[in-house]
């Protein structure tokens, strides 16, 4: 009776024939051009990080004397009277948020519809022209939008504001402290109560953030899976049904991210707001009523003639604005980064 020979499997046979079958890492040396590109991009990224950190550290150091002197009252006081040693940013923070939120309410729906039209409805020959025109709006200086709203839009927009205050004045948001039933309302006591308001400034800011939001949304919508879009059309879905079931679920991160990036831009808008608003320091929810202020407008209007103590207070306000925009833009970057993957579409 002979000894049994061991049974070798296919894996053992391959191992005996070719040696170790573990996967090998395939590496190739970087060319000179690749090394220059990698190190160049890395250096630029580090430089940007250093610049942003330097700005934050500088503003934080400059804010120290003001915060030590006023304490928490700097954030709760709404009056800005440096001559009487009364300084606070509560009113300008509220005005900044009001202008930014109203601008988002105007710009985001317009940007969403524009991005959808460019990606899914516009003819092929028209699409490049629309993209160029939209991107060209981002290069228009803010002062141009400010002058456009101040000279052309505001005289007509005051009629809309008057109708809103007269019809929905029972809502604090649309209330205006003037006689809306005055026979000639433009000559009512307290007029102009509708010009120079947060709502008017938000129109200019909305036109400035519209190209940014449109660009982000358009890029995300254009990456929607073509196979699922064609499958929805093949199954009999209308164009709108395809957009609603495929494009919008895929691009919801782009919508949120584009809106947050636009919010970061709206928070720091300066020159167009300074041109339009009637600067007052008052806590009020009446966005249609004349008189408001923002952090950037406060800094722009008071920086030139500020004393050393006033300059420290203005730089502290700038530090608060820096932190607000940094948080918003960081959140936007994280949301946009998620636009590449985990959305689920249902057909």
pLDDT tens digits, 261-317: 888 888 888 888 888 888 888 888 889 888 888 998 898 888 888 888 888 899 999
Torsion of CA 154, 159, 164, 167, to 10 degrees: 170
pLDDT tens digits, 151-179: 899 888 888 888 888 888 888 888 887 76
Torsion of CA 308, 309, 314, 319, to 10 degrees: 100
Q: Does domain 62-339 have CATH number 1.10.620.20?
A: no
321 vs 96: CA distance, rounded Å:
9
Q: Are 221 and 121 in contact (CB under 8 A)?
A: no
The strand pairing partners of 80, in sequence order, are: 87
The number of helices, as runs of H, and strands, as runs of E, in the chain is 14, 2
Q: Are 264 and 329 in contact (CB under 8 A)?
A: yes
Predicted TM-score (pTM) of this structure: 0.81
The values of phi and psi at residue 25, to 5°, are -80, 130
Per-residue pLDDT tens listing for the chain (347 residues): 445 555 555 555 545 555 556 666 666 677 888 888 888 999 999 999 999 899 999 999 988 889 898 888 899 899 888 888 888 899 999 999 999 999 999 999 999 999 999 988 888 889 999 999 988 888 888 888 889 998 899 888 888 888 888 888 888 888 887 766 665 555 555 445 788 889 999 999 999 889 988 988 898 888 888 888 888 888 888 888 888 888 888 888 788 888 888 888 888 888 888 888 888 888 888 898 888 889 988 988 888 888 888 888 999 999 999 998 888 888 777 776 665 545 444 44
């Amino acid at each position: 009776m002979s000894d049994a020979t061991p049974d070798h499997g296919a894996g053992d046979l391959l191992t005996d024939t070719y040696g170790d079958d573990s996967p090998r890492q395939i590496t190739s040396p970087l060319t000179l051009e690749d090394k220059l590109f990698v190190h160049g991009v890395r250096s630029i990224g580090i430089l940007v990080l250093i610049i942003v950190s330097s700005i934050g550290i500088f503003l934080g150091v400059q804010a120290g004397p003001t915060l030590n002197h006023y304490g928490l009252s700097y954030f709760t006081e709404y009056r800005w009277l440096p001559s009487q040693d009364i300084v606070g940013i509560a009113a300008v923070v509220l005005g900044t948020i009001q202008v930014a939120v109203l601008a988002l309410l105007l710009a985001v729906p317009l940007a969403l519809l524009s991005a959808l039209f460019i990606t899914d409805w516009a003819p092929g020959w028209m699409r490049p022209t629309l993209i160029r025109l939209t991107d060209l709006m981002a290069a228009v200086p803010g002062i141009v939008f400010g002058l456009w709203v101040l000279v052309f839009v505001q005289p007509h927009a005051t009629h809309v504001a008057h109708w809103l205050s007269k019809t929905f004045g029972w809502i604090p948001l649309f209330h205006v402290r003037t006689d809306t039933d005055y026979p000639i309302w433009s000559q009512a006591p307290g007029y102009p109560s509708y010009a120079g308001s947060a709502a008017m400034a938000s129109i200019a800011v909305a036109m400035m953030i519209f190209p940014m939001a449109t660009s982000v949304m358009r890029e995300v919508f254009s990456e929607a899976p073509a196979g699922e879009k064609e499958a929805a059309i093949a199954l009999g879905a209308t164009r709108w049904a395809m957009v609603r079931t495929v494009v919008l679920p895929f691009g919801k991160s782009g919508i949120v991210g584009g809106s947050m990036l636009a919010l970061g831009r709206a928070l720091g808008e300066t020159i167009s707001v300074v041109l339009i608003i009637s600067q007052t320091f008052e806590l009020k929810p009446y966005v249609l009523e004349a008189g408001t202020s923002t952090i950037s407008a406060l800094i722009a209007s008071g920086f030139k003639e500020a004393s050393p103590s006033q300059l420290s207070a203005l730089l502290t306000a700038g530090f608060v604005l820096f932190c607000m925009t940094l948080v918003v833009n960081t959140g936007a970057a994280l949301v946009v980064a998620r636009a590449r993957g985990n959305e689920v579409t249902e057909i």
